[in-house]
Structure 1
Amino acid sequence: MKMGFKWQLAGWLLAGVGWHAGAQAQAADYPRKAVTMVVPYAAGGGTDVVARSLAEQMTRLLGQPVIIDNKPGAGGILGTTAVAKAAPDGYTVLVGLTQSLLTNQFLYEKLPYDPRKELGLVTQIATAPLMLVVPAASKIQNVADLQRELRATAGGGNCGSWGAGSYPHLACAYMAQSWKTAITHVAYKGEAPMLQDLVGGQLGFTFASIVSAKPYLDGGKLRAIAITGEQRMPQFPALPTFAESGFADAEYRMSGWLALAVPHGTPKPVVARLQQAAQQAMGSPELVKRFEMLGMVPMGSTPEQFHQSYDAAWPVWEKLVKVSGAKLD
């Protein structure tokens, strides 16, 4: 029996060596055919626009077509699941958001994929900080003013979001808890109607994307008083971050991001090739222009750096969701 086990163990080792050699050989001449880039959201949105520009540049750099496949549905779940269950060979790549790659696991009781076990992180493409905005007629000039106003007003105030579980919802719930004041959450079906009600005075404040808020800011209908994330935006150099405004909580330093991921088990050399191509593509003038138009900041990270920032953000997003009480079906 001992001898049989030794032969069996040797067989396993040889099989492992053979598989490893096969994976290395496969990675050496990767890619040999078209790469499918899955966008788990509808065509025409910001994620899709960036993905198509990225795919065009990566096609040139990889020497094979990078084809966009839109698989929208269920807050990014359908497309993300398809990639998580795909063959780990580098020919199926996900363009994911913070929601699909991180926060969905806290929001949904039953998620058909496990992002940490079934997906491999490749690189963060860009971050998209949000502005804290108020109506132009509001007397609130900064975050401290908003805090004082909410505490001094009977019933607090109301804050809009584009849906339960979105960052505006989570951040407003965190404000209410940490500032010990009442804030009523008003959910909308999209950012556009939320901003229209903010301009109309039906809302006191909210968080908004730069691309959606900018026309109202330029038109003098809204005023931005702070921005999430770690740094100021080039388009709004005078707009302070929350930390610069005296509110350095990790919950306000969070920003949503756009990233590439692959099925878990994809060979490391293949992941490295994808990361390098994406990194080069992000330096193209076309993509830089896209990022600026959409209020995004290009990032570019190695898989290791991505894992580090992901792990650091994990407990913060988990806390934000828990404080909000948001649950989705």
Structure 2
Amino acid sequence: MRMKSLIAMAVMAWSAACGAQSYPSRPITFVVPGPPGGATDTVARALAEDMGKRLGQTIIVDNKPGGAGVIAVQAVTRAAPDGYTILLTHSAPLINTPHMYRNVPYDVRRDLAFITEVSLAKLLLVVNRDVPVKNVQQFLDWAAKNKGKVSFGSYGVGTFPHLVGAHLNQERGLDMAHVAYKGEAPMAQDMIAGNIAWAIGSMGTLGPHIKSGRLTALAVMDDKRIKELPDVPTIAEAGLKGQEMRSPGWLGLLARSGTPAAVLSQLETAARASIQSPAMRERLDALGMTPVGNSPAEFRREFEATEPVIARMIKASGATAE
């Protein structure tokens, strides 16, 4: 019996090795937790085209919106661990959703293998032009003097902008009212109209309104300033140094756990080369994103550092989707 087990294991190992050597022998699918035309979809299609050329196979983008990302993630965790069904997602389905919904049918650490972090969104804290402030400290002082009268926007309950506002309310007793929108565009328009005082949003959406003077950028929600607005400080430079203020707004590639290491390595090599190519860097920059292209270990460390912070913020805010 022991000999039969050893033979079976050897056959399985040989089959996996052969499969890895011939990979990819058929089209690959990128599963995206959003509809066609969104930022994640746009990045997925650009990356699919470039990576497909590098791997010598077509990469198809399969949009699976809805369910706070659960539908898309589950499609990958239920697929065969062979490298042909890959998740290209923003951080929320992996970090926020498991802490806001009950009985989420996947465990990121158990069910997914990290490939690379594709990009980081350039997020900014902005105010409408009627708010009489020029920096973060002035903004906090103004909000304290107008306690109970200040409103802020987000693109959904439990999103990073909502959690930051809730955190500032708790830490500083500001009693600011949260207004949730169905996306950045309506949030930006309401801020321009003066219906909300401030929000956190992407450079891609808010940048044109900042440049026109209709909105004022107070801080970058990251560790580095951005080239488009070199005079706008990072949130830490502006005086708010807690991890709660650092954006988790990344896009990443992940596969089902159990995918052969050789296949994951091929995907990583192709993805990182694509992300660092001039054409992709230009494309990401135009979308208000910073290219990353790190190693699986670095990507996982980013997840491990961010996930508990967001979990605490969600719990403290009372945000729930049910």
Give the TM interval when normalised to the shorter protein: over 0.9
1:83 aligned to 2:76?
A: yes
Higher mean Cα deviation, 13-22 or 272-281? 13-22
Q: Is the 8 A contact 1:163 1:187 kept in 2?
A: yes
**Which residue pairs with 1:151 in the alignment?**
144
Question: How far apart, in 2, do the equivalents of 1:289 and 1:106 lie?
Answer: 35
Question: How far apart, in 1, do the equivalents of 2:307 and 2:7 lie?
Answer: 39
1:274 aligned to 2:261?
A: no
**Which residue pairs with 1:241 in the alignment?**
234
Question: How far apart, in 2, do the equivalents of 1:75 and 1:154 lie?
Answer: 33
**Which residue pairs with 2:120 in the alignment?**
127
**Which residue pairs with 2:311 in the alignment?**
318
1:95-134 paired onto structure 2 within 5 Å: 95-134=88-127
1:303 aligned to 2:296?
A: yes
Q: Is the 8 A contact 2:147 2:176 kept in 1?
A: no
Which runs of at least 4 in structure 1 moved beyond 6 Å after TM superposition? none
Structure 1 residues not aligned, in runs of 5+: 1-6
SS of 1:87's partner is: coil
**What amino acid does structure 1 have at the position aligned with 2:267?**
L
**Which residue pairs with 2:287 in the alignment?**
294
Higher mean Cα deviation, 74-83 or 51-60? 74-83
SS of 2:36's partner is: coil
Equivalent in 160, 177, 183 of residue 176 of structure 2: 183
1:2-41 paired onto structure 2 within 5 Å: 7-8=1-2, 10-41=3-34
Deviations 1:99-144 (A, max 9, x none): 1122211111121222221111111000113110001232111111
Over aligned residue pairs, what C-alpha RMSD do you find? Answer: 1.4
1:169 aligned to 2:162?
A: yes
Question: How far apart, in 2, do the equivalents of 1:18 and 1:174 lie?
Answer: 55
Identity score, percent: 38
Q: Give TM-score scaled by structure 2 length.
A: 0.96
Structure 2 residues not aligned, in runs of 5+: none
Question: How far apart, in 1, do the equivalents of 2:249 and 2:165 lie?
Answer: 16
Paired residue total: 322
Deviations 1:64-114 (A, max 9, x none): 111111122222221111111000000111101101122211111121222
**What amino acid does structure 2 have at the position aligned with 1:16?**
M
Question: How far apart, in 2, do the equivalents of 1:129 and 1:250 lie?
Answer: 16
- Give the CA deviation at 1:271: 0.6
- Give the CA deviation at 1:14: 3.4
Question: How far apart, in 1, do the equivalents of 2:105 and 2:247 lie?
Answer: 26
Q: Which of structures 1 and 2 has the bigger CA Rg?
A: 1
**Which residue pairs with 1:226 in the alignment?**
219
Deviations 1:225-271 (A, max 9, x none): 00111111122111111111111100112331000011111011111
**What amino acid does structure 2 have at the position aligned with 1:246?**
G
Deviations 1:34-55 (A, max 9, x none): 1111112111111111111101
**What amino acid does structure 2 have at the position aligned with 1:244?**
E
- Give the CA deviation at 1:300: 0.7
**What amino acid does structure 1 have at the position aligned with 2:213?**
G
1:206 aligned to 2:228?
A: no
Q: Give TM-score scaled by structure 1 length.
A: 0.94
**What amino acid does structure 1 have at the position aligned with 2:12?**
W
1:192 aligned to 2:179?
A: no
SS of 1:120's partner is: strand
**What amino acid does structure 2 have at the position aligned with 1:199?**
I
**Which residue pairs with 1:217 in the alignment?**
210
Question: How far apart, in 1, do the equivalents of 2:315 and 2:122 lie?
Answer: 21
Q: Is the 8 A contact 2:163 2:317 kept in 1?
A: yes
